[in-house]
Amino acid sequence: MGDEIKQVVIMRTDLKMGRGKMAAQAGHAFVMGAERVRLTHPDWHADWWDGGQKKIVLKVSGLGSLRGLKMDVIRAGLPYAEVSDAGHTQLEPGTVTCMSVGPAPENAVDRVTGGLPLL
């Protein structure tokens, strides 16, 4: 289990986003994060792809928590992708809605995100 490769998205729940908007924003984070790791860690990407592309979506209550988490992710040296909404619908342009961590080894991801609840 510990060697599995996993991708996590952490979603803000303090914005006026319905479930469809959240799913689309998570999609941005999943796609951009996976594309980065495909280029920077092709071995992780291949293991993740062949192993069923494990994905999970967690939540934070606001921008402060997301920024704090991002600091921890950077300190841990994990790949991430932050999503800013274009603002065509529902949100102000440039609003940070969520971020991805990984795909990366599960142990390392959990060390940073393990305390967060499921969305």
Q: Measured between alpha carbons, how far is 75 from 73 in angstroms, rounded to an integer?
A: 5
Which is nearer to a second copy, 7 or 113 (by Cβ)?
7
Contact residues for a second copy (CB under 8 A)? 7, 9, 11, 18-24, 26-32, 34, 52-53, 55-59, 86, 118-119
Min. distance of Cβ 24 from a second copy in angstroms? 5
Question: Backbone phi, then psi, for 31, in 5-degree steps?
Answer: -70, -45
Which is nearer to a second copy, 57 or 78 (by Cβ)?
57
Which is nearer to a second copy, 51 or 68 (by Cβ)?
51
Q: H or E element: which one contains 99?
A: strand 96-105
Q: Measured between alpha carbons, how far is 116 from 119 in angstroms, rounded to an integer?
A: 9
The single-letter code of the amino acid at 118 is L
Min. distance of Cβ 53 from a second copy in angstroms? 6
